[in-house]
Amino acid sequence: GVIVVGSITADITTFSERLPEPGETLLGTAVTLALGGKGANQAVAAALAGANSFLVGCVGTDLFSSLVLTGLTGYGVDITEVRDVNDSTGVAHIRVDASGENDIVIVPMANSHLGAEQVDAAFVSLAGRASVLLTQLEVPASVTMHAIRAGSAAGLTVLLDPAPATALDPGIWPFVDIVTPNETEARILTGIAVVDETSAEEAGRWFCDRGVRSALITLASVGAVLVTTDDVVRFPAFPVTAVDTTAAGDAFAGYLGAALADGLSLADAIRRAMAAGALTVTRRGASPSLPSRSDVEELLAD
């Protein structure tokens, strides 16, 4: 199985011809309300991939709490380790224009209550049921850092999707088995401008030099580059027509974690994750755009 320590939000998305100027009020064309948050999305992707998927996170005691919890259980995510806290459920307010350009404001609320004690308690109660840990940076960074160290000590394969990117404790890297930044995150963390596969290799080496086992830089429609201490492998993307790139990275991380928990080799797991990322960009939305395992297998077999 897979344990995901991360954020849970209700995503309120409005669609309009163009995004408003500062101070302007616009009439939009549509609105959706859906389960989101990087932690929740990755847990859903891992569940869709067929893994036992355990989410560790926090929701509030408001109306949105039942929306996100119903969403999670509907996808088969185990929410035993999701706590109700005395705050509002986190919200992401997303605006999308006709070209697919977006801007996002995330208000963490309940997500900021996730603490190291909750992570420790979850690792104890889930002991023996998972071999992979997925982490991101939408919950307090200190909690993600704690989960990485504790997960590593517990013998889990530890993945860090460093999104949204922020400066991190430089001592964390030896505890990370696989780091999966996109171009922007790789640049913020390494200071190397990642614009192509060659610069991605350079950024990948930066992580390996600091103790990461495998650095997997994702390059959207170009694919991904895997850098380990003694090898570099370039993985070309599956050619698809992108309509909305939201959650591609979450599909990638969730499917990658599930494939590793299933015992696939890293190269096979990466191909599976890339197929999932590719299918996600062909559909609108975050969690609603995450692909089924059968769709992923079909694309892999093509």
Specify binding-site residues. 9-11, 37-41, 138, 182, 244, 246, 249-250, 280, 283, 285, 289
User: Can residue 249 be called a binding residue for ligand ADP (CB under 6 A)?
Assistant: yes
For the chain, the helix, strand and coil percentages under 3-state DSSP, each to the nearest 5: 40, 25, 35
Task: Fill in the per-residue mask, 211 to 230: x = in contact with ligand ADP (CB under 6 A), - = not in contact.
Answer: -------xxxx-xx------
Can you tell me the distance from the alpha carbon of 165 to that of 125, in angstroms, rounded to the nearest whole number?
30
Q: Which stretch binds ligand ADP (CB under 6 A): 14-22, 109-117, 206-214, 275-283?
A: 275-283
CA distance 190 to 127: 34
- Residue type for position 205: R
State the minimum distance, in angstroms, from the CB of residue 38 to ligand ADP: 9
Q: How far apart are CA 117 and CA 122, in angstroms?
A: 9
Residue 88 interacting with ligand ADP (CB under 6 A): no
Longest dimension (CA), the chain: 55
Of 78, 161, 177, 250, which one is the catalytic site residue?
250
Would you give the binding string for ligand ADP spanning residues 229-248, x where CB under 6 A is met? --------xx-x-x--x--x
- Count of residues engaged in binding ligand ADP, rule: CB under 6 A: 20
In 3D space, the residue among 122, 117, 142, 106 whose CA is nearest the CA of residue 2 turns out to be 122
Residue 230 annotated in active site = no
Dihedral sign for Cα atoms in the order 298, 271, 246, 40:
positive
Known binding-site positions for substrate: 9-11, 37-41, 138, 250
Cβ neighbours for 286, distance < 8 A, ≥ 6 positions apart: 11, 34, 35, 36, 41, 246, 247, 250
- Told to check if 255 binds ligand ADP by CB under 6 A, we report no
89-128 residues near ligand ADP, rule: CB under 6 A: none
Pick one of 36, 162, 277, 291: the residue that binds ligand ADP (CB under 6 A): 277
Minimum separation from the CB atom of position 290 to ligand ADP (A): 12
Cis status, amide bond into 291, omega within 30 of 0: no
What does the binding site for ligand ADP look like in residue numbers (CB under 6 A)? 163, 182, 218-221, 223-224, 237-238, 240, 242, 245, 248-249, 252, 274, 277-278, 281
Enzyme catalytic residues? 250
